[in-house]
Structure 1
């Protein structure tokens, strides 16, 4: 399953159209727009979309980033700021490999911010990983559609190299109840520490997962969601990650 591509408050219709064309070229099946500040179906956007026009026409609109990510497990956000990030910046290969390693049943997302000011700290904290496209100069901020092109190219390259059958088999492996209980306890402890930094959806997910576990009904996608939430919380709290054998 290809990740959802999310644009937060895009202001340039030419950029929106270009991104739709890129999505079509790289096999991205869904474009999500958060409170766009332009007409995403205007003449300029349509002109740039070319064969990506059908994808642009069915793009989903959301009022907030939290709403756009509500059904997603692993999320990678992009940032062009040189410092002051709420989470560590990663090399694109590392962040995108993590995205590709998620449960194939559960939606994932790539998030790009506003052309003029990117993503806020609150929005960045809704991701499990942050990446920055490296440039050789200190003035290397890229145009929105150019940044999308670079990231989708890297994603496609890594996806071709990934051992898909092994990833799929691992994602279907059963998760013992004791491990689930440990992850839930870990997440609940972390929520008390840094939960104020996260959207209300994180707290709602925790309550739902706890109720499902008590009834013995946690599905494979929900296990992946819990792992993603623990990962997100550990980034926010700067705690080290447990080994893959533990979780």
Structure 2
């Protein structure tokens, strides 16, 4: 999280090391503090232009050193908090729609193999009835419960998100047709099995799921989401609480 670089080192100057380090890790991931006893007035701007967050001229006091370290670490933590607020849904902790679109597009752009990727739209059935009959707190609890099921069924290489309202979107890669069908059927069954105490009632729900599968090499995020959304509509029209899927090429 924090690198302290002296300009005068064997083998490589601090400015060059800072430049190379910054090429690997962005400012919001790693802070770099340059230090030097050199009186060259161009040294500070060269450090800053090459990616340093801060600079200390030697000799410096112990108190000043630890103040600069604390300030840079605090700034990293603040940036991390702001990024989390911008990319995570506040109710469920899942990535939000914007984050899902960015992560999914990067994942599609980074692969060049012949595997398959699936995008699924998941929607809570009769959600308005839950809100109208039990109140919005029950609706929030239902959304959080579905999100927990999705998180429990999200592998490290997959992405799950809350798209908005009672709708969620998932990207799952590396599964053949049978494994993909089994995966989303497990999600559907897990939600249907939920029984959540709520006041004097027991809250239960189902979800409808629309899935679109496409080869990674030709995967187009807009096409995947559009077809998954169409399959979701078909699942709703067929009676809800079911998975509808299509393969495209």
Pick the structure with greater CA Rg: 2
Structure with more contact order per residue of length (Cα contacts < 8 Å, sep ≥ 6)? 1
TM norm. shorter chain > 0.5: no
TM-score, L = length of structure 1: 0.25
